[in-house]
Structure 1
Amino acid sequence: MKINQRWKAIAFFVIVMVCFGMCWFLRVEYYIQRSYPNVHEMCIPGDVASKAEILISNYSRDHPVFLQLSDYFWVKNQSKYRLPYGTYGSEELLIKFLALTNRYHVPEDIKRLRCRRCVVVGNGHQLKNSSLGETINKYDVVIRINNAPVHKYEKDVGSKTTMRLFYPESADFDPQLDNNPDTLLVLVPFKPLDIQWMKIILNNEKRVRKGFWKMPPIIWEVEPENIRILNPYYMSVTATQILKSKKMIPKMIPKPTTGLLAITFALHFCDMVHIAGFGYPALTNKKQPIHYYEKVTLKSMFASEHNITVEAQAIKNLFQQNIIHNLTYF
């Protein structure tokens, strides 16, 4: 009897130690992911570029960040690919649209920064109760994605928004409540109709209701000078270099999420790149919400054109090569 009790005690002790070890390991992993990035660390001009050019062949910062009227009006644009990887076939529509906005450049207060410290804020559930708002607000450039709200979530996600990448179907955010007066609203066109929708909104023309997988806003109060169109070069780089697609055949090219696209853009635009709120629950976790602001689960992603497993590995590669750092667990 005493021998059995002793063995039970040993087994209990072993189980407790294993559980303690696992908890400690997870705790360390969690804080490694959360604690090492520091917005106040020294920003080294060209640091991200020097690392990204090893990963991305033909890496260049010479491409215009946003599409410009001069690219199409004065010079014959030689894009080989259609949207979202190029502008072939959309030139006339772009001339009409870009003539409306008459703004194509990065604001001077950002352009003149000697070193750009950027954070790309994802929409992930990891941000809920993170209290990262004050930290996020301290970056020079805060890039947000799609319809992620800021209003009522400032404690966790901050209130500063330098740029917001979106497309018509993801434009169901309040431009006044969820942005700042000088926020750049950066359209990511997946199809010519996306540019047409934006043109219709700015001109207050008859709305188009067909051709979208989700109905975009009918009324959208924005200032034309705040609108930009992201250069499709970044979408092409994301698909071919970050996701390693070897063939530029429309049906075979992976469609990156707006989040991964935003990270790729930051690699070309910033000198320091931190991210927050990226990553999905395990495929077996069908109950945890995927966003910090709603209860939608991973099930909603099953019918999408995105390969979130491949994207997760791509982001991990960027961590491992010390190109980007994470403010939340991944």
Structure 2
Amino acid sequence: MKPTHKLLFVLCPMLVLGFIYYSSGKLRLHMWGQKARNPLELVYKYGNLSEGTCKPGYAAAKMTAIFPKFVKPAPMFLDRNFKRLAKVSNYFPPFGFKTQERIIDSILAATKNYGLGKELDGPGCRRCIIVGNGGILFNKSLGSRIDDYDVVVRLNEAPVAGFTKDVGTKTTMRITYPEGAIQKPENYEKDSLFVFSAFKSLDFKWLRQMVLKEKLRGIEGFWKSVAHYVPREPSDMRILNPYFIQEAAFQFIGLPFNDGLMGKGNIPTLGTVAITMALHNCDEVAVAGFGYDMNKPHAPLHYYETVKMSAIKESWTHNISKEKEFLRKLVKANVITDLTNGI
């Protein structure tokens, strides 16, 4: 073999390996916007931003560092193309919408809107806060800080009026289910979205009656009384993507799969579901009013009533200790910010 041929024989594999190495590096840079796992990359991307500046993609970037399979794109609400959502189409409620397609179609045909609104659906950076109902919010004077977020999410029937100093005045959306919905029409905010989260098939029937302003029928099967009327226009009502319940339960918290059906201790709380939703749809995520301290039995359970912490009994549907473990993991990794330090 000639010397030149020997040289080429040695150089060619080296060049090929070099190209593969270079290409893989370029690929990693290309994928940065979706999966940033290296802490140094995070420092480089966000370290020079001034304090208070919204960090684009921050929550998702931090999330992939601890959950490598996390993929950000996941629609917040169901729209007319909801049947294409393969991850939830084969599950019954609460982890999907199997057998409920027809009734969901009729609801979405009436609501006609499937986003947050023109101002918030744009490409800008979005900072969100989930306001829990915990007594730890009381007397913290966090109202103005909460109102400073782009999207303020509230849960079930937790009131705002009379508690604005601690919980703020702004409500972008209120996520609820039939038994948790506000029952007095005068207590509803006039400018927020009513976001429905279904935990059983009966819940969708209730929502259709609320959307179409029909007389409530078939209330057998609810575990407590439910609202008979929701004073919101259909255009202000949404259906939360059930994927967030599924993902929170089985991928993040690690609850029993139970053949994909509701069972003992395998349903995440609505607060954790809301946080999961925010991680997919917000650039920065904060929480306030989360965390139950069972070592303080005489502390208030909720910020708006006198019921004590000792009133909490073992839950059939939730696993509070496993959820707390998951949420602490998010706080420790700086995926979310806990304003009340209750987690």
Q: Decide: shared fold, TM above 0.5.
A: yes
Measure the CA separation in 2 of the matches of 1:170 and 1:302: 18
Specify the SS of the correspondent of 1:99. Answer: helix
Highest CA radius of gyration, 1 or 2? Answer: 2
Q: 1:114 aligns with which of 118, 124, 140?
A: 124
Q: Which residue of 2 aligns with 1:189?
A: 198
Q: What letter is aligned with 1:217?
A: A
Q: 1:211 aligns with which of 217, 221, 225?
A: 221
Equivalent residues in 2 for 1:1-330, closer than 5 Å = 41-72=52-83, 79-172=89-182, 174=184, 177-181=187-191, 183-208=192-217, 209-245=219-255, 247=257, 249=259, 250=261, 251=263, 254-282=266-294, 284-304=295-315, 305-330=317-342
2:132–2:290 contact (8 Å) kept in structure 1 = yes
Q: TM-score normalised to the size of structure 1?
A: 0.81
Q: Which residue of 1 aligns with 2:24?
A: none
Measure the CA separation in 2 of the matches of 1:271 and 1:219: 34
Q: What is the total number of aligned residue pairs between the two structures?
A: 288
Q: CA deviation at 1:55?
A: 3.1
Q: Residue by residue, what CA displacement relative to the aligned partner does 1:279-317 show, whole Å, maximum 9, x if unpaired?
A: 0122x4332221000122334431432121211111111
Measure the CA separation in 1 of the matches of 2:215 and 2:124: 45
Q: CA deviation at 1:177?
A: 4.1
Q: CA RMSD of the aligned region, Å? A: 2.1
Q: Which residue of 1 aligns with 2:29?
A: none
Q: Residue by residue, what CA displacement relative to the aligned partner does 1:82-110 show, whole Å, maximum 9, x if unpaired?
A: 11111111111111221121111231201
1:247–1:253 contact (8 Å) kept in structure 2 = no
Q: What letter is aligned with 1:239?
A: A
1:101–1:225 contact (8 Å) kept in structure 2 = yes
Specify the SS of the correspondent of 1:131. Answer: coil
Q: CA deviation at 1:253?
A: 6.3
Q: What letter is aligned with 1:254?
A: N
Q: CA deviation at 1:117?
A: 1.0
Q: TM-score normalised to the size of structure 2?
A: 0.78
Q: CA deviation at 1:223?
A: 1.0
Measure the CA separation in 1 of the matches of 2:298 and 2:268: 24
C-alpha distance 324-50 of structure 1, shift in aligned 2 (>3 A):
same
C-alpha distance 316-76 of structure 1, shift in aligned 2 (>3 A):
closer
Measure the CA separation in 1 of the matches of 2:144 and 2:70: 33
Instruction: Between 99-108 and 249-258, report the one with greater CA deviation.
Output: 249-258
Instruction: Between 268-277 and 63-72, report the one with greater CA deviation.
Output: 63-72
Aligned sequence identity (%): 38
Specify the SS of the correspondent of 1:110. Answer: coil
1:136–1:142 contact (8 Å) kept in structure 2 = yes
1:145–1:259 contact (8 Å) kept in structure 2 = yes
C-alpha distance 322-200 of structure 1, shift in aligned 2 (>3 A):
same
Instruction: Between 298-307 and 231-240, report the one with greater CA deviation.
Output: 298-307
Measure the CA separation in 2 of the matches of 1:311 and 1:328: 17
Q: CA deviation at 1:173?
A: 5.3
